[in-house]
Amino acid sequence: MKSRFLIPAILITLTFAFLVSLGFWQLDRAEEKRSIEASIKSANTGVVELIESTDALEDKEYYVVRIQGQYLNDKQFIYDNQIVDQAAGYYVLTPFELKGQTKAILVNRGFIPWNGRRDKFADIFVDSDPREIKVQISKPITRIELKSSELDSEFPVLVQAIDIDALIGLSGIELTIVVGLLDASSADGYVRKWEPYTGSIEKHIGYAIQWFLMALVLAIIGIRIGLKQRKK
């Protein structure tokens, strides 16, 4: 192999390996989503259980459960920068203190569109009467913040991410590490179109095929260049 072909050969090889790794990464993502889908199905095939301990909630990811207690209206959070049905808005996060427990779970009561006004929140008041609600247990998804947000001390507080430790420090309420997605059958909620995860298995498989095809095309190009160099 001539020395002038050495650098292009190395670049082609590295790019080929990179494209193949991207393809396998997408397959891993598809398998991850498949595993989540299976977990959701297995978690919600029986009776909706009444959970009385906040510690027990932390082992119930994907499960739909019943909990009893009361909302803490004066410690609510506005989870900003959300999109539902192509409308921009926010989720309403309200601590729910379980009966007989000192720890609360943050309940996502649903989505409210801004409707062109970011200077005024909707009326999100909820009374503190004892009640039973149904929620799906979910772990907060960590999302990238373009800049660190400065949290106000006046409730309801506008937040850009669900950082449980930060919310505990701000509210003075001990919160579980999981969040409850309020079921559509429970009152005092807003738009609720919960998705267990973003994306789809088919999308990741499609991306994987694209990366593998690009790697194949690059390999064919590299082989043809190599054959031409050999003839010379």
pLDDT digits (tens, 9 = 90+) for 11-32: 889 999 999 999 999 999 888 7
Do residues 85 and 32 both lie within one domain?
no
Tokens representing residue 216 in the block: 């194949």
Q: Cβ of 113: how many Cβ atoms within 10 Å?
A: 17
Query: How much is the pLDDT for 146?
Result: 45
Residues contacting residue 100 through CB under 8 Å, at least 6 positions apart: 52
> Strand, coil or helix: what is 198?
coil
Q: What Cα–Cα distance (Å) separates residue 141 from each residue in 13, 88, 91, 144, 168? A: 36, 19, 14, 10, 17
d(CA 28, CA 26): 5
The total of structural domains in the chain comes to: 2
Query: How much is the pLDDT for 144?
Result: 54
Do residues 106 and 21 both lie within one domain?
no
User: What's the distance, CA 179 to chain centroid?
Assistant: 11
Do residues 67 and 173 both lie within one domain?
yes
Given the DSSP bridges, would you call strands 64-71 and 49-50 parallel, antiparallel or unpaired?
parallel
Residues contacting residue 185 through CB under 8 Å, at least 6 positions apart: 134
Residue 214: domain span: 3-36+202-231
Q: Is residue 9 part of a domain?
A: yes
Helix then strand then coil, in percent of the chain rounded to 5, is: 40, 25, 35
CA-wise closest residue to 128 among 191, 74, 51, 87: 74
Count of CA atoms in the C-beta half-sphere (13 A) of 106: 27
Which of the residues in the chain have pLDDT under 50? 1, 146, 148
Query: How much is the pLDDT for 129?
Result: 96
Do residues 22 and 101 both lie within one domain?
no
Do residues 124 and 221 both lie within one domain?
no
Residues contacting residue 206 through CB under 8 Å, at least 6 positions apart: none
d(CA 143, CA 139): 12
Do residues 164 and 76 both lie within one domain?
yes
User: How large is the greatest C-alpha to C-alpha distance in the chain, in angstroms?
Assistant: 86
Query: How much is the pLDDT for 57?
Result: 93
CA end-to-end span of the chain: 10
Do residues 177 and 211 both lie within one domain?
no
Q: Is residue 226 part of a domain?
A: yes
Do residues 72 and 147 both lie within one domain?
yes
Do residues 85 and 122 both lie within one domain?
yes
